[in-house]
Amino acid sequence: MGLLSDPNRRRALISMLTRLNAPICVVCYMAGVAWFMGLAFEPFTLRTYMSENAMGSTMVEERFPSGERALATGREFSAHKKRAGGMPVDWLVKTMQARGLEVFTQRFSRTLPFPDENKERYMVKGTNVYGILRAPRAPRTEALVLSAPCTPGDNNNQAVGLLLGLAQYFRNQIFWAKDIIFLVNEHDLIGMQAWLEGYHHTNTTGMDWSPLQGRGGSIQAALSLELSSDVITSMDLVLEGLNGQLPNLDLANLFYAFCQKIGVLCTIQGKLQRNDWDSVSGYSHSVQTMMLMVMKQASGRPWGDHGLFLRYHIEAATIRGINSFRQYKTDATTIGRLLEGMYRKLNNLLERLHQSYFFYLMPSLSHFVSIGYYMPAFGLLAVILLLRALDLWVQLATPPPRTEDGVPDTEQMSSPGVLSVLTPLVISHLTGAALYTLPIQFQEMAVEHFPVSETEAVVLTAIAVYTAGLALPHNTHRLLSGEGTEQGWKVLKLVAVLYLAVLLGCTALINFSLGFILALTLVPVAAFVTPHVPKVLSAFILVILSPACTLLFSVFFFQELQEVPTSFQEGWLLYLSVISQGILDHFLYGSLVYPLIALLVYPCWLLFWNILFWK
Amino acid sequence: MAAHRCSRSAVLLFLCALSLFIVADSQETASNGGQRDNNAVDSPQAATETAERAVEERRWEASEAEAAADRQDTSAAENELPASVPRPKDDFQEELVIRPLHSGDIYASFQFRTVWETDFMKGNKVSHYRLFPKSLGQVISKFSVRELHISFTQGYWRTMRWGQPYQPSPPGAELWVWFQDSVTDVDGTWKELTNVLSGIFCASLNFIDSTNTVQPSASFKPLGIGNVTDHRFLRYATLPREIVCTENLTPWKKLLPCGSKAGLAVLLKSEKLFHSTFHSQAVHIRPVCQDWECKTTSWELRQTLNVVFDLHTSAQGKREWSLFKMFSRTLTEACPLASSSKIYIDVTDNPQGDQFEVSPATPLLSQAVVLGDRRTFSVYDLTQQITFGTVRSLNLLIRWKSSEGDMLRPLLHAERYVAGYGLQTGEIHTLMYNNHPYRSFPVLLLDSVPWYLRLYIHTLTVTSKGKDNKPSYIHYQPSKDRVRPHLLEMLIQLPPNSVTEVTVQFERALLKWTEYTPDPNHGFYVGFPCKEESSYFVRVYTEPLLVNLPTPDFSMPYNVICLTCTVVAVGYGSLYNLLTRSFQIEEPSPGLAKRIANIIRKMRGVPPL
């Protein structure tokens, strides 16, 4: 800072920054991307370790014996499910009561803003059944949750069976210090949302639910179980929750530790961990794993039923049994023992899980990248925006040397300055607001006038508004304030660049992945765009790097990472469904990605679009 | 250790007790008093007196509130006592009531009662103790205690499964004391008393201070004789976090005249008592009338211990209970110092013996009104050798025949929870259920909330059946930070067959860093009594609440301090410097010759160089 107090040296520094601005920006961008790619390189990452003492040193024994019986219960459940054509509420209530639990039910109903074509539902009505195992000599202050979704078809029967088997076994143990809530939720996330809102007596999304009769105090941790086969080859851990929230890393550590102890293959993002980190394929494997996590986190949607718990500060994860063609199989008893061990350790917790990280990326289950390591990658991208802003500021502050009549010139540029900045800002935000509201508002009208379904209407309206927005700002701007000046676009760009920097910075703090992906595409746009670059080419690049196209590429990239490459046709359909899912996620669960893109990121990008066509 | 976990931690703090009293006139009130005693006996073998005594004892809870009324009523039960001629100066009775619960669980309630005709207050130092424990006697006289009630409970009484308990108690420790009106510094005495009791019962009662003590204005009326009801002499406190274990049981057992050597107390083995789903032990001291005229008072010490054994964890799911299975002991003798030693088994739900069977069978039966219900008990008198049979040991066996265990619908029950999410605000919901089909009950609600939950009292709402339910009496004392808790007392009418919901919003305070508990990410608790008077009296406690407060990250203070200081010193300091300093180009100071030249030029009136 002493550097800045000296006017001469400050001048030198600033002139260097303005002179070398472009090369520094390029270097920063490269360095940011390189840093990010380096995160997956194993020697640069840390091994996971258990931070929570209450779960670390205390040994627990796993003795769950009755996996076979649990599977039989699962088959019984499946039969009753078929007979009832949905959730077999009465049977579940009776079965849970027979196992000595206090059983309660909750009814809920929700009309979706528009039909969900992926899951084929529109007006959803259902019932959640949950049984509470009251801990002996505990005053109902703390609880753990084990949930299994009741899904239509033949899926997940084994999970419910195992849940009931564990309930029976747990009921006979004396050592529980926290109530354990066994929850079978219908309509997956919608049921879970209803239950959580009922439990915490909040209503954020306008769902109808009947109040809960029984509670177990504040929930400390939750696991959601998904299991669709009698034997499995590996267990997959799903961490990503709503808005990219992650559970405390200790929960992942706990899962990993027990998988190691019991000898179950465990994966994250469906990818096994490899030992050959020094080979190219080993490295690319961990890059893929990490990228999958980044993509999932950036999507902001809950990737399992656990995802909604995180809003309530409840550490939660989904455990998914996977049955592939591998030779080595694990039976239900072993999975039961795994869960028993995890619950016994969670039961030992004296405080909430808080010792370990809440912000991390995992290139494999045994390694993690903490916020301190990944944030510089984003910081290197964000600094580009600041450098550009500095450059513009300096250009604006030093009067252009060629003009001789400096006094009238400055007056000229400052008076249209306010309007010429404010108009595009307001217009682009209005476009954003239209993008946010119109698709839902006008779905009925669209269905009447065009041969499309409601869902298609919503998605196509969104795309239409998005595209229409490209035409709007610069045209109206020209109407309102006449010819733009050289100074005008610089002021506008300065505002836009700073706006983007703040926007991305805040996003990256909450959801690093989303912030980073947006920065990756928007920062180059923000850096290079001026009215003086070749129009057609730049417009093309700008469109390619716009948020909507980023999403399109992400869809293809994600499919590639999951090793299910898609053709363009399928990819396009998938893209449309991803948009509709994103909108639904917002209205059903309160995911913030759609409003963020529509109300902030897209208007911000429109500002740059406006600058490109500045006249 | 891990970095960056700030902001998400929390503190678990205790909300203190929320009590709910129900004051109601039950239908049975009319047939109160004498009538009740008249139809008390129907044992074939003319065990009249036994039965009468049982009535009196079992009805103890019921009779507290109406002690005064009873005295005037000259109830038969009270008459019974003076009849048992030359009374010793002190008297000890022990009893065990076993109630098989519908759920398959079993409820055992011990009561040890010592009555001593003495007066601690009348100047003359009491120095000779026989049955009454000296440690408590000294406490009474030193601190001028008029009434003392203390309970230690581990677990929560599940009204929905078990019905009403004989002696309700909140989870953790509860202490309420009425002082004599001669005490001048009540707060100081209370502080000393809690510290002494803390030593006697080996419990953390010394954590009772002004921040968790309240003076209820309408609840917790004295149970013994006496007409002082000035609540300045009442102190009430709960410690919901108190863990109760063997170290509290041992000093409690030492207060018994026979210790745990003989009598019913041999059953009190900690390894079994703490292998249960509910455990509660209590000590109640109060002055009672010596005779029906009530000219002189005697002191009554009642030690109770309630325990519930679970069908699944203790009985491996078999619906069959015996003394040995419950306590891993059988009974061989009564306490030799006891004037009465009995076991009662509640057989009300089993009139024809089709629900469960009890062996060995007993011919003695007695009836009593407990909590407004007429209950029938089988009685085993341990002072009779015949009770022990030929094997010289009594091992009661209760075997269920039916196996359904439905949820009960108790007339009154309550639950409580914190609504909302996030660490800034929240809402406390208290639900009170009145399941009676046509009667409404007046309920006195006592709610004491620690200061660090800042109640927004204007958001207080009471609704039943969707309508606003205006309390007929409200007493609210706002909290003072770090000094005293909120106290809220309300008299609410519960309409029949309804749920009444009391909600109040609060804000979570940010504590000073030394005020956090060692486990700040844990939490706080609430209890709540509910009582009904006249014919019977129910006190219902809700579950404690665990509330997270915003908590800084305590695991890395050094890093945080270093980082913060660096940021402040380097970043903020120099930025501030840059922003406030004005920069000027410094003129080099002119040389001597130039200065002289300038002076000359000035004198000449020429502009300086």
Secondary structure (3-state) at A400: coil
Q: Do A121 and A231 lie in a common domain?
A: yes
Confidence of residue B408 (pLDDT cuts 50, 70, 90): low
C-alpha to C-alpha distance for B239 and A161, rounded to whole angstroms? 41
Q: Is it the case that residue A175 has pLDDT exceeding 70?
A: yes
Range of the domain at A307: 53-352
Placement of tokens 């105090």 in the chain? A217
**In terms of domains, do A346 and A446 share one?**
no
Chain B residues 328-387 with a CB less than 8 Å from chain A: none
d(C-alpha B574, C-alpha B583), whole Å: 14
The interface predicted TM-score (ipTM) is 0.86
Q: Model confidence over B292-311: pLDDT tens digits?
A: 777 778 889 999 999 999 88
Give CA–CA dist B40/B49, Å, rounded.
10
User: Is some CB atom of chain B closer than 8 A to the CB atom of A139?
Assistant: yes
How many Å apart are CA A334 and CA A26, to the nearest integer?
A: 53
Over residues A382-394, the mean pLDDT reads 91
pLDDT tens-digit series, residues B128-147: 788 899 899 889 888 989 89
* Domain's final residue, options A320, A335, A352: A352
| A317 and A449, same domain (yes or no) | no
Same domain, A294 and A436: no
Structural domain includes residue A363: no
| pLDDT at residue B7, as a whole number | 35
CA distance linking residue B222 with residue B147, whole number of Å: 7
Helices and strands, counts by H and E, chain B = 14, 26
- The per-residue pLDDT for A91 is 93
Q: How confident is the model at residue A56 (pLDDT cuts 50, 70, 90)?
A: confident
Residues linked to residue B341 through DSSP beta bridges, in sequence order? B94
| Optimal mutation site among A50, A101, A315, A352, interface B, most CBs of chain B within 10 A | A352
For residue A357, being part of any structural domain is answered with no
A-contacting residues of B 435-464, CB under 8 Å? Answer: none
Q: Provide the pLDDT for residue B3.
A: 37
> Is the predicted pLDDT of residue A479 greater than 70, yes or no?
no
- In sequence order, the β-bridge partners of residue B346 are B377
What pLDDT is stored for residue B541 in this prediction? Answer: 86
**pLDDT of A76:** 92
Reported as a pLDDT band with limits 50, 70 and 90, residue A152 is: confident
Asked if pLDDT for residue B47 goes beyond 50, the answer is no
Determine the pLDDT at residue A476.
56
Min Cα separation A378/chain B (Å): 17
pLDDT grade, residue B63 (50/70/90)?
very low
Domain boundary among A352, A379, A410: A352
Mean pLDDT, chain B, rounded, equals 77
Q: Which of A14, A203, A351, A359 to mutate to test the interface with B (most CBs of B within 10 A)?
A: A351
Any domain includes A405: no
- Rounded mean pLDDT, A78-104: 91
pLDDT for residue A210: 92
* Confidence check: pLDDT of B290 > 90: no
Q: Do A185 and A314 fall within a single domain?
A: yes
User: Is A294 within a domain?
Assistant: yes
Which percentage of chain A shows pLDDT scores above 90?
Answer: 52
Residue B523: pLDDT band with limits 50, 70, 90: low
**With bands split at pLDDT 50, 70 and 90, how would you rate the model's confidence at B533?**
very low
What is residue B5's predicted lDDT score, i.e. its pLDDT?
38
Q: Is the pLDDT of residue A474 over 90?
A: no
Please state the rounded mean pLDDT for residues A495-519: 94
- Using CA coordinates, name the residue in chain B closest to A355: B2
- For residues A308 and A425, membership in a common domain is answered with no
Averaged pLDDT score across all residues of chain A: 87
Q: State percent of chain B over pLDDT 90.
A: 20
3-state secondary structure of B605: coil
Q: Output the pLDDT for position B61.
A: 37
Same domain, A505 and A585: yes
In this prediction, residue A412 has a pLDDT band, given cuts at 50, 70 and 90, of very low
Instruction: Write the DSSP symbol of residue A316.
Output: E
Cβ of A313 within 8 Å of Cβ of B581? The answer is: no
Provide the pLDDT confidence category of residue B6 given band limits of 50, 70 and 90: very low
| Domain contains A443 | yes
Q: Tell me if A7 is assigned to some domain.
A: no
Nearest to A5 among B154, B525, B577 (CB): B577
Is the same domain home to A340 and A435? no
The answer to whether residue A13 sits within a structural domain is no
Q: For position B524, what pLDDT does the model report?
A: 54
DSSP of A55-112: HHT---------HHHHHHHHHHHHHHHHHHTS--HHHHHHHHHHTT-EEEEEEEEEEE
Q: Tokens representing A399?
A: 């009067």
Would you call B578 an interface residue with chain A, using a CB distance cutoff of 8 Å? yes
Q: What is the pLDDT of residue A89?
A: 93
Mean pLDDT of B100-125: 82
A496 and A607 inside one domain: yes
- Asked whether the beta carbons of residue B419 and residue A140 sit closer than 8 angstroms, the reply is no
Answer yes or no: do A316 and A457 share one domain.
Answer: no
Q: Which residues neighbour B214 within 8 Å (Cβ) at sequence distance 6 or greater?
A: B16, B235, B236, B237, B446, B448, B477, B484, B485, B487
Pick from B582, B609, B605, B581: nearest CA to B595:
B609
Nearest C-alpha of chain A: how many angstroms from B546? 6
Band of the pLDDT at A69, cuts 50, 70, 90?
very high
Give the tens place of pLDDT for each residue, B339-384. 999 999 988 877 677 778 888 877 788 887 776 677 888 898 888 8
DSSP B244-264: P-HHHHHHHHHTSTTTTTSGG
- B418 CB neighbours in chain A (<8 A) are 218
- Per-residue model confidence as pLDDT tens digits over A222-271: 999 999 889 999 999 999 999 999 999 999 999 999 999 888 999 998 88
* Residue B123 pLDDT class (50, 70, 90 cuts): low
Mean pLDDT of B261-281: 90
* B543·A140 Cβ contact <8 A: yes
Count of pairs with CB atoms under 8 A, one residue in A, one in B: 142
Q: Angle of helix A512-528 relative to helix A602-612, nearest 10 degrees? A: 10
In angstroms, rounded to a whole number, what is the distance separating the alpha carbons of residues B289 and A123?
69
If you average pLDDT over each of B2-6, B221-225, B324-328, which comes out highest? B324-328
3-state SS string for B317-386: CCCEEEHHHHHCCCECCCCCCCCEEEEEEECCCCCCCCCEEEECCCCCEEEEEECCEEEEEEEEECCCHH
Is A578 among the domain residues? yes
- Sheet containing strand B473-477, edge to edge, reads B473-477, B486-494, B441-449, B18-22, B539-541
Q: What mean pLDDT do residues B486-513 have?
A: 89
Domains of chain B: 87-400 (no CATH), 412-547 (2.60.40.740), 557-604 (no CATH)
Once rounded to an integer, what is the mean pLDDT over residues A25-38?
94
Counting the structural domains of chain A, the total is 2
Q: Which of residues A473 and A544 earns the better pLDDT score? A: A544
Is A351 in the B-facing interface, judged by CB distances under 8 Å?
yes
- Residue carrying the six token digits 């100047």: B123
Find the range with the poorest average confidence among A97-106, A121-130, A481-490: A481-490
Question: Which pLDDT score, from 0 to 100, does residue B440 have?
Answer: 83
How does pLDDT run across B75-108, given as a tens digit for each residue?
333 333 443 444 557 889 999 999 988 788 899 9
Interatomic CA distance for residues A146 and A339, integer angstroms: 9
What pLDDT is recorded for position B88? 54
Q: What CA–CA distance (Å, rounded) separates A468 from A595?
A: 18
Average pLDDT on B420-444 reads 87
Q: Which of A312, A327, A352 is the last residue of a domain?
A: A352
Chain A contact probe: residue of B151, B281, B310, B528 with most A CBs at under 10 A: B310
Nearest CB to A355: which of B2, B155, B405?
A: B2
Q: How many CA atoms lie within 13 A of A42 on its CB side?
A: 20
- Are A445 and A348 part of one and the same domain? no
Q: At what angle do helices A568-589 and A454-481 cross, to 10 degrees?
A: 90
Note which residues in 157-216 of chain A have CB less than 8 A from chain B: 171-174, 200-202, 214-215
- Asked whether residue A198 carries a pLDDT value surpassing 90, the answer given is yes
Inter-chain CB proximity B277 and A136 less than 8 Å: yes
Mean pLDDT of A400-405: 50
Q: Which residue has the higher pLDDT, B14 or A170?
A: A170
Q: Are strands B106-116 and B297-309 parallel, antiparallel or unpaired?
A: antiparallel
B155 at A interface, C-beta within 8 A: yes
Chain A residue with CA closest to B431: the answer is: A213
What pLDDT score does A2 carry? 60
Confidence of residue A408 (pLDDT cuts 50, 70, 90): very low
| A431 and A347 assigned to the same domain | no
Of B155, B316, B583, the CB nearest to A137: B155
